[in-house]
Structure formats: C-alpha cells, structure tokens
Structure 1
Amino acid sequence: MENYQARIKKAKKAIKEAKYVLLGGGAGLSAAAGITYSGKRFTDNFAPFIEKYLFTDLYSSSFYPFKTQEERWAYWAKHISLNRYEIGATKLYMNLFQLVKNKNYFVISTNVESQFEKAEFPSDKVFEIQGDYSYLQCEKGCHDKLYYNESLVKKMIDKNVDCKIPWYLVPKCPVCGGEMDVNLRKNQYFVQDEKWHESDKLYKEFVKNLEGEKVTYIELGVGFNTPGIIRYPFEGATYRNENATLIRLNRDDPDGFTENENKTIGFTEDMQKIVADLLK
C-alpha cells in the first residue's frame, strides 16, 4: 500500500475528475462519526438496562427477547432517542456533504440514523435502504404506511419507570390491532413505503447512467454484514468499468478484489482525518 499522502492525492484526483460519484455508507461510517454502539456512550446512557438485563452493547441488546411490550418499548424508546433525536448532524457527515455537493452524486446507505438528512444531503439523493429509526410500522407488515415516532418516543422516555413504560403507551397497529415495530430491515415484514420505492427508483436510475462513464465509488465503513448491498456491487461495477475508481475507507478490510487492485484506493486510517484531508 502506498503512503498516506500518495493515496490522498490519488483519491482527490479521482473525485475531482469523476463525472459521477456514488457514496456508500455503512455502520463503520456512523461509528467513526461518534455514533458508537458500545463503550462509554453505551454505558453512560443505558446503565439501568445494563444492570437489569446484563446488556453489553446496543447491537446485541436490540435482539433481546423482552418478556413484555412495556419492557421492549422502554428499551427501544431510549435506543431510538439516543441515536436519532439526541444527536445532531455530525462533523464527518457534514464534511462528506462538502466533499461531494458540487458533483453529480448519489448516496446509498445501510445506516438508519438519518445523519445524511441532518447533514443537508437532499432527500432525493439519498437511499436509506435498511429503514429509519424515525418510523414505526406494523410488526407483521399488514400495510405499507409508516408512522413518525418522535413525540411517542419522548413520552415513553418521560414515563419510563424501572425499564418499563405504561401499558397505554405501547403502540398498536391502527389497521390490524397487532404489535408495532421499528422500521428496520430484519425480517420479511420490513415495510417499504412509497418514499422507499421512490428512493429505490432514483438510485437505479442513477446507477444506469454510470456504465462506461468516469465514476468514483466512495465506500465508507462497509463491512461484511450485508455486503450484497454496497460492497460487492461497488466492487463489481468497478471491475466492469475501466473508467471507474473505488475509494474504500475501511479500518479492517480496505483492499478490493485482486482484479481491482490498480483501481482501488484503500484507507485504514481515521475516517474523520481522511475526509478532512480530502477537503483540503
């Protein structure tokens, strides 16, 4: 791997000369921005839940089989509030906007905290394919409407006693009367509403224009949890297009396919620093 400054120089050139830029954001991007799911941020905000349920981090705790809906929503209200409503636009996301705002770009992200929206990326240029903490849906997906949850989440937190909310705040589906869930892709019941389908259409239309064009793919903190959404498609598109460059910011897995070795610029360094240096 070339030295850091050489890679920064090549990456800046690739972005400047690109006709199109496609950003792909994964969990590592939000972690680098400070939205971490473990460590001090977790222990400071979830002490009662850690004591009661022995939780170790926000990711694994989101799969905990709570015995009651009152307990389940006490947890999820705090989870949603901390990651969606209690944090503003982070510097890393704002710097990313400055990096691409004058380019013909699009964003696909598996993150669900609405950070791109907060950093002033236009909604018609962002596809949050895995859902959004801001919305609830029918747990069984009986209909395709989503429900904005900020007001309800605040009420749940205000009324939380011993990691439980009152029964009357437990959300129920207004159509089938069943349980509600957070709009996150975790099973076959994930609701894709009208906005989701419009974003999907815009993304596919953008990708159609890239064939043979001078394209720079910028992959940010994308691991192997769901590689078929961003990592593998970006690799394949880079391989098929001789005019494409892949910039991969990944602490653990910066390298591309062997076939893309000369078209991939990999970074393992601190993501905040890399993006700041690309702006200089």
Structure 2
Amino acid sequence: MSLDAELSRAVDWIAAADGLLVTAGAGMGIDSGLPDFRGPGGFWAAYPALGRARMAFERIANPAAFQTDPQLAWGFYGHRLKLYRETQPHPGFALLLELARKMKHGIWVFTSNVDGQFQKAGFPADRICEVHGSIHHLQCVSACRDAIWSADGFMPDVDSEACRLRGEPPICPHCGSLARPNILMFGDWGWVERRTALQFQRLQQWLSAVHRPICLEIGAGTHIPTVRHFSETHGERLIRINPGEPEVPDEQNAVGLSLGGYDGLRRLAEACGIG
C-alpha cells in the first residue's frame, strides 16, 4: 500500500477516536538532536571515552557501575542529565497535542524514554507513564527505603573527554549513601518503581474510560520491545512511525509509516489538516 493510502487510513482512524495513546521510544528524541545509542557504534560516537575503553552501553547503564566507579557512572548519567535539560523538544511534540485537542478523552503518553522531553514540551505530567523511570529523579543506590526525589538540585560538572564527574556525586538524604538516577537499568534489582507504578495505574484508569482509542507509536524498536509490545496490545488501531522497523502485526488494524519521528508526525498532521 502506498504512503498516501496509509496516511489516509490513519487520518480516518484519528477522526473516529475519542482518545490518543502516544507510545514513544528512543527514535522520538533523535529529531531534537539527542544521540542514538542503537549499536556500539552510535553509543561510542556519543561517548568516545567509553568507546576507547570498549565499554558497552549495558555495562555503564548498570547499577554495578555506581559501585565500581561512581565518578564514571555519574560522568555518563550527569552528561545525559545536562544534555536533556538543555535540549528543546522538536515541533512534533506540539503536533501530537494538536492531534488530540478535539478528542473527548485527550492524550496519554507511554514511553521508555527517561529524558523528560514530553513534560518539557507541555504535556501534563499526570498523563505520562515513564516505564523505565526518569533521569530527572534520584534514588538511593542501596534502595535504603522506597524514596524518590527530584534531581533539580544536582548540577553535574562533567569532564566530557574522560566521561567522568568532577566533584562530588549526589547522596541519599536518608542514609548518606551514593544516589543514582531513578531509572531501570540493565541487571537492576534495586530500582524503586513506585513512581512509575503510580503512573501506570493512572494510565490503566484512563484506558478503561476510553471507548475508541487510537495508538500512535513513534520511534520504538525491537531491540528492547517494551513499547512495541504495549502498542500492539492496547488500542483498537495502531499507527506506527519508524524509519527502519515499520512492520505491523495486523495490517487490517495497523499502519506502518517508514518515516522518521518528526517527518512522520508532520506528514500525518498535514493529512489531518493541521500544521
């Protein structure tokens, strides 16, 4: 089926929907200038020091890294925290809000991204489920208690060349141990999931009230398929925007647009008469 035909089907589904479920993976942030960590090449291009050490993403995005070398672990996460604070969301975020503006039940977001870009783009914080947590929140490395707090007071000074934190890392206000991002990492048995669990509970309540949901997925890959699986099991219809993996499981009830995140949203919005 041609791109125009797929867009036409998507427009009809959006017009009939009473709620927009946005599901987003890492590809949503690329058009904002955020790095792509897919594969060692992309990760090491963003963090050359880790490339020289042949350190894979799975090793540094791991709670064990905070035990063995906290300055390196916080060099990596501190750099990302600063980057996400400085990055402005691309215009596709605003187009999503506009697509849902006339829907009775509005919009909800389910994302594996930890960057806080949806909140920064003006999405209501109480309508976002960050299934892997958020870099803008901290917890104790030892998970001494079920506590999560804002990272707003932490201003990381990072030696980008060495990917190491200068100065002191944040500490847990309850026990004085090292603090870490409240993010679900690889091999992570100490992640405090309370905040995400409450978000997910609110999302389920919203889904139960929506009668004709449309799911719009952007930039979610198959390497870690959390978002794709959620998209395929929620909503009557699915619109998948993905330049490399646009395949859908059910062509009767789903369309796959082989486009980048912003380009796909722009074309979809234009087809809906928005823009």
Work out whether the TM-score is over 0.5: yes
Which residue is 1:34 aligned to? 33
Are 1:273 and 2:263 matched, yes or no?
Answer: yes
Q: Matches of 2:135 and 2:258 in 1, distance apart? A: 29
* Inter-CA distance 12–161: structure 2 relative to 1 (3 Å threshold): closer
Which residue is 1:218 aligned to? 216
Are 1:261 and 2:251 matched, yes or no?
Answer: yes
Q: Matches of 1:233 and 1:185 in 2, distance apart? A: 17
Amino acid of the residue matched to residue 3 of structure 1? S
Which residue is 2:227 aligned to? 230
Larger Rg: 1
Q: Matches of 2:173 and 2:52 in 1, distance apart? A: 32
* Inter-CA distance 162–123: structure 2 relative to 1 (3 Å threshold): closer
The range that moved more, 91-100 or 104-113, is 91-100
What secondary structure, in the 3-state scheme, does the structure 1 residue paired with 2:134 have?
A: strand
CA RMSD of aligned residues (A): 2.9
Are 1:124 and 2:126 matched, yes or no?
Answer: yes
Amino acid of the residue matched to residue 176 of structure 1? C
Distance apart, 1:65 and its partner CA: 4.3
**Structure 1 unmatched runs, 5+:** 239-243
Q: Matches of 2:233 and 2:47 in 1, distance apart? A: 41
Which residue is 1:246 aligned to? 238
Distance apart, 1:13 and its partner CA: 1.5
Contact 2:47/2:163 (8 A) holds in 1: no
Which residue is 2:204 aligned to? 204
Contact 2:20/2:215 (8 A) holds in 1: yes
Contact 2:183/2:191 (8 A) holds in 1: yes
Q: Matches of 2:258 and 2:161 in 1, distance apart? A: 43
Contact 2:133/2:183 (8 A) holds in 1: yes
Which residue is 2:53 aligned to? 53
Q: Matches of 2:262 and 2:161 in 1, distance apart? A: 38
Which residue is 2:5 aligned to? 6
What secondary structure, in the 3-state scheme, does the structure 2 residue paired with 1:252 have?
A: coil
Q: Matches of 1:199 and 1:256 in 2, distance apart? A: 27
Amino acid of the residue matched to residue 175 of structure 2? C
Which residue is 1:241 aligned to? none
Distance apart, 1:62 and its partner CA: 3.4
Distance apart, 1:32 and its partner CA: 4.2
Which residue is 1:171 aligned to? 170
* Inter-CA distance 196–163: structure 2 relative to 1 (3 Å threshold): closer
Q: Which of 117, 133, 136 is the equivalent residue of 2:135? A: 133
The range that moved more, 119-128 or 34-43, is 34-43
Q: Matches of 1:256 and 1:149 in 2, distance apart? A: 38
Are 1:20 and 2:19 matched, yes or no?
Answer: yes
Are 1:188 and 2:178 matched, yes or no?
Answer: no
Distance apart, 1:69 and its partner CA: 2.1
Distance apart, 1:263 and its partner CA: 0.9
* Inter-CA distance 41–178: structure 2 relative to 1 (3 Å threshold): closer
